[in-house]
Homo-oligomer: A and B are copies of this chain.
């Protein structure tokens, strides 16, 4: 009845929703959409499987929300880096550093996106979101690379090819992180060798 309680209830709901999404990120990224069990996600979030359906209408919606969150995380990371000071190469280096650091905390982001791309039963709307996201990332990367090339800081290869290689490298690192959690990723200086003149 009192506002405090209502707020707390609301907050609890949000927390649980977040916990669900966190658990979903782990489960979906490791197993893919089809193999992931709602019961696993629920267990990961510490709730009963039935309760999942109070927060998301079905497995597909939970997956879509999880992937959307990952995409948003990427987008915000990207736009944040784009506004940093320094040369284009500095910014690309910062981006790679942040992505690599992110792999430590949340190695699932990239995996999720991969699963969503390749998996079955992924709704078309989600696939469209991902395509759009992919295009945006490439555009931003390519823009930075071209700027860096003009400044003479980045090697004069086809910018698109460089962007593709950079992303492939980061994604590959995410996968290796998942395959072997103990392994340390290659240091940043190795990654940026792809770009430097």
Contact = CB atoms under 8 A, between A and B. Distances in A.
Interface of A: 30-35, 111, 114, 117-120, 134, 155, 157-158, 161-162, 164-165, 167-173, 175-176, 178-180, 183, 185-187, 189-191, 193-194
The 5 nearest A-B residue pairs measured at CB: A168-B172, A34-B35, A172-B172, A171-B172, A165-B186
Contact of A158 (B120, B161, B187, B193): B187
A169 B169 contact: yes
Contacts of A30: 118
Nearest to A163: B186
A32 B111 CA distance: 13
Residue among A134, A169, A178, A187 with the most chain B CB within 10 A? A169
Copies in the complex: 4
Contacts of A172: 167-173, 175
B186 A161 contact: yes
15 contacts: A31-B120, A32-B32, A32-B119, A33-B35, A35-B35, A35-B120, A114-B179, A164-B173, A164-B186, A165-B169, A168-B169, A168-B173, A168-B176, A175-B175, A194-B194
B194 A193 contact: yes
Nearest to A117: B179
Nearest to A173: B168
